[in-house]
Amino acid sequence: MNSQKQATSALISVFSKDGLAPIVEKLHALNITMYSTGGTEKFIKDLGIPVVPVEDVTSYPSILGGRVKTLHPKVFGGILNRQNNESDVAELAEYEIPQLDIVIVDLYPFEKTVASGASEEDIIEKIDIGGISLIRAAAKNFADVLCVSSVNDYGTFLNLLETQEGNFSIEDRKAFAAKAFNVSSHYDTAIFNYFNKNHEIAALKISENNGKVLRYGENPHQRGFFFGNFDEMFEKLHGKELSYNNLLDVDAAVNLMNEFTNDDPTFAVLKHNNACGFATRATIHQAYVDALAGDPVSAFGGVLIANKKIDKATAEEIHKLFCEVVIAPSYDEDALKILKGKKNRIILIQNEVALPEMQVRSCLNGVLVQDKNAKTDVLEDLTYATNNKPTDAQLEDLLFASKLCKHTKSNTIVLVKNKQLCASGTGQTSRVDALNQSIVKATNFKFDLNGAVMASDAFFPFPDCVEIAGNAGIEAVIQPGGSIKDQLSIDYCNSANIAMVFTGTRHFKH
């Protein structure tokens, strides 16, 4: 295996020509012979630089509308030969195959074509065959060949070319081989997922090229990483780097607020993935004030999110609180100036980006995958279980509470009054415990529960919850229904003049 190797030849066949010109010029300056095809060949010629058409090597033209250009033994022999193998060297001479020391490829943009909504015919034509084969061959033979596999690596390669004058070490070639197999595996994953979009084949393939090392994981002794395009979804205006736990809370905040995107001004305060404060009001300022009132103790160190622009008055209130992250679609300039007063406070603008439709989490020695819970309870879903029907105002509060309940850890009970979260019982082992926890919290923060409504993420197996709720002043309940003992809860609600509606949909969140 050659540790140092001076390149004398290069094969260039790329889709993207951005940044290619200085590479070609440097290769020419180093007297490195270039071979190319089609549009890339024309690009090099237009620079006034000599280039050898691949057809001159293979004695075959580009055929089938350009589908077959480089797929030939005289090309792949030049890439795959082992220069320290006498038999390989002899065969190259016998068949007049040129040695290829550098291979530069940029694949057809398959993912971009799919994302553009193009026709299936156009998408299929963007499945690169020759390019992906060149990448795999060159990366496999990194002992002798340096493979540049993406436009994203043009700059890195040019720097290496300039600093080392085309004399590459085995470490250089192996590092570029790793990049190449990352490109090829990601490309194939995207193609497979396009063909398997309905999951007819029970196989899971995930590939994320945007990776970031975090300070640590959930705790300082754990390593942590984020894989995804954070910058596509958010514009970070200020503050420290987001941690593993910050990202989990931001995810919870975004998914919750997505339920209220087009509603009146709404503000949420989250802690440990659960809303501890939430309110919808006529102004974003009042929404924040009333959301904070839901649990000003838990709000310390929390994540804040708004569905409307944050103004100066709201920023002044937020600035009184120690919080980790503030998220909004936009900010007034004077509001930003105030919020930036804490150097570590993370300030994000949320962009409109489609979120994944599937959820993936590790489990045992494998992974669990499920559809995202895209169901939101609406008025048309409700069946009226009790003699007493909820008022229009109660119906609004019930659906408001149901949305909150859907995004709160199970077992959960959510108490709401006038579109304000009074309290919730989160992550409890029994629904009775969740209810009692929520009542205690609401009482501690001076909420009057008379006239409030209650949401449960699952049915009541016994009438104990509605009885406890009724004694606390709850006047309306929303729950999935479906227990074999539903009638016991219905009977109690009828006797206590409590309105209860069924949604028919459970919203467990484990």
Cβ-based neighbour number of residue 416 at 10 Å: 31
For residue 245, what pLDDT band results from cuts at 50, 70 and 90? very high
Q: What is the separation of C-alpha 217 from the centre of its chain, rounded to a whole number of angstroms?
A: 18
Give catalytic status of residue 45 as yes or no: no
Q: For position 354, what pLDDT does the model report?
A: 87
Task: Work out the average pLDDT over 175-194.
Answer: 96
Which residues, other chains included, contact 201 with Cβ-Cβ below 8 Å and sequence gap of 6+?
none
In this predicted structure, the answer to whether residue 60 has a pLDDT above a threshold of 90 is no
Write the pLDDT tens digit of every residue in 300-320: 999 999 999 999 999 999 999
Write the pLDDT tens digit of every residue in 405-444: 999 999 999 999 999 999 999 999 999 999 999 999 999 9
- Interstrand relation of 323-328 and 453-456 (parallel, antiparallel or unpaired): unpaired
Q: Amino acid identity, residue 441?
A: K
Which residues, other chains included, contact 48 with Cβ-Cβ below 8 Å and sequence gap of 6+?
none
Q: For position 2, what pLDDT does the model report?
A: 56
Report the alpha-carbon distance of residue 461 to residue 484 in Å, rounded. Answer: 7
Residue 277 and residue 310 in contact, taking contact as beta carbons nearer than 8 Å: no
Q: Amino acid identity, residue 285?
A: H
Residue 329 and residue 349 in contact, taking contact as beta carbons nearer than 8 Å: yes
Task: Work out the average pLDDT over 28-50.
Answer: 93
Write the pLDDT tens digit of every residue in 99-132: 999 999 999 999 999 999 999 999 999 999 989 9
Task: Work out the average pLDDT over 185-200.
Answer: 93
302 phi, psi to nearest 5 deg: -90, -175
Question: Which candidate in 26, 28, 140, 174 is catalytic?
Answer: 140
For residue 83, what pLDDT band results from cuts at 50, 70 and 90? confident
Tokens describing residue 176: 């570029």
Q: For position 65, what pLDDT does the model report?
A: 75
**Looking at the chain, which residues constitute the CATH 3.40.140.20 domain(s)?**
226-350, 379-502
Q: For position 74, what pLDDT does the model report?
A: 86
Nearest Cα to 398, choosing from 464, 448, 462, 451? Answer: 451
Q: For position 55, what pLDDT does the model report?
A: 86
Give catalytic status of residue 337 as yes or no: no
Residue 166, phi-psi category: left (phi > 0), alpha (psi -120 to 50), beta (remainder): left
CATH architecture observed for domain 379-502? 3-Layer(aba) Sandwich (3.40)
Q: Which percentage of the chain shows pLDDT scores above 90?
A: 84
Q: What predicted TM-score, i.e. pTM, was given to this entire model?
A: 0.87
Alpha helices in 367-472 (DSSP H): 392-406, 431-444, 464-472
Cβ-based neighbour number of residue 14 at 10 Å: 24
Residue 62 and residue 37 in contact, taking contact as beta carbons nearer than 8 Å: yes
Question: Which candidate in 74, 272, 312, 340 is catalytic?
Answer: 272
Write the pLDDT tens digit of every residue in 356-412: 888 999 999 999 999 999 999 999 999 999 999 999 999 999 999 999 999 999 999
CATH architecture observed for domain 226-350? 3-Layer(aba) Sandwich (3.40)
In this predicted structure, the answer to whether residue 447 has a pLDDT above a threshold of 80 is yes
Q: For the chain, give the mean pLDDT.
A: 94
Task: Work out the average pLDDT over 449-478.
Answer: 97
Task: Work out the average pLDDT over 173-201.
Answer: 94
The angle that helices 20-29 and 154-164 make with each other, rounded to 10 degrees, is 20
Task: Work out the average pLDDT over 16-40.
Answer: 93
Alpha helices in 30-109 (DSSP H): 38-46, 54-58, 73-80, 86-94
Q: For position 1, what pLDDT does the model report?
A: 52
Q: For position 58, what pLDDT does the model report?
A: 80
In this predicted structure, the answer to whether residue 287 has a pLDDT above a threshold of 90 is yes
Class of the CATH domain delimited by 4-196: alpha beta
- Interstrand relation of 167-169 and 4-6 (parallel, antiparallel or unpaired): antiparallel
As a residue count, the chain comes to 510
What long-range pairs does 149-154 form, CB within 8 A, spacing at least 24? 149/105, 149/106, 149/107, 149/176, 149/179, 149/180, 149/183, 149/184, 150/105, 150/106, 150/107, 150/179, 150/183, 151/14, 151/15, 151/16, 151/18, 151/19, 151/106, 153/179, 154/18, 154/19, 154/20, 154/23
- Interstrand relation of 346-350 and 234-238 (parallel, antiparallel or unpaired): antiparallel
Cis before 411 (ω within 30)? yes
CB burial string 231-268: b at 16+ within 10 A, e below: eebbeeebbeebbbbbbbbbebbbebbebbeeeebbbb
Tokens describing residue 308: 């409307």
The beta strands (E) that lie in 299-393 are given as: 302-306, 323-328, 346-350, 358-363, 366-371, 383-384
